[in-house]
């Protein structure tokens, strides 16, 4: 899914819901679609605020919820009272999350995917989607921990 397709899907969805495609929604949509990597909703609020654009926090939240509902944005994790999001325009991947510094490492591992498929097959389970998040210490934090001990 590319950005122009995502924008068309967004416009189509809000029209079907009887909502308007306002300039404020468009600014929020553009800001989110142009965000690289993982983000918190406050990152988007701050970027819009820094551009002196008049968009309410509620509009940012509502727009993000629409993007989640149509699958353009994915809630990656809830950790330390923060919700982290990412744009769903790239291939499936899993996450390693550092519980110390919050660093998120994306990875793809064919063997893990195959094992998950095999497990589903064994149990007669038909998966619709999955996500794998492994929490622990990243290399930098683990080495600092080793030094302290």
Is 141 a known ligand-binding residue? yes
138 labeled binding residue: yes
Annotated ligand binding at 101? The verdict is: yes
16 labeled binding residue: no
Tokens 């302290």 found at: 148
Q: Which residues make Cβ contacts (< 8 Å) with residue 92, sequence separation at least 6? A: 108, 113
Longest Cα–Cα distance in the chain:
60
> Which three-class secondary structure string do you get for the chain?
CCHHHHHHHHHHHHHHCCCCCCHHHHHHHHHHHCCCCCECHHHHHHHHHHCCCCCCHHHHHHHHHHHHHCCCEEEEEEECCEEEEEECCCCCCEEEEECCCCCEEEECCHHHHHHHHHHHHHCCCCCCCCCCEEEECCHHHHHHHHHHC
List, as residue ranges, the binding site for Zn(2+). Answer: 98, 101, 138, 141
**Residues that constitute the known binding site for Fe cation:** 92, 94, 113, 130
Known binding residues are 92, 94, 98, 101, 113, 130, 138, 141
């Amino acid at each position: 899914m590319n950005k122009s397709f995502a924008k068309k899907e967004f416009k189509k969805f809000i029209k079907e819901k009887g909502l308007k495609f306002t300039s404020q929604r468009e600014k929020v949509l553009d800001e989110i679609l142009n965000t690289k990597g993982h983000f918190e909703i406050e990152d988007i609020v701050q970027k819009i605020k820094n551009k002196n654009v008049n968009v309410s926090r509620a509009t940012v939240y509502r727009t993000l919820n629409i993007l989640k509902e149509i699958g353009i944005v994915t809630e990656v994790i809830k950790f330390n009272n923060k919700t982290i999001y990412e744009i769903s325009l790239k291939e499936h991947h899993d996450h390693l999350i550092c519980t110390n510094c919050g660093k998120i490492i994306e990875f793809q591992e064919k063997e893990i995917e195959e094992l998950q498929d095999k497990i589903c097959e064994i149990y007669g389970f038909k998966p619709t989607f999955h996500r794998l998040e492994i929490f622990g210490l990243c290399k930098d934090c683990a080495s600092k921990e080793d030094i302290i001990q």
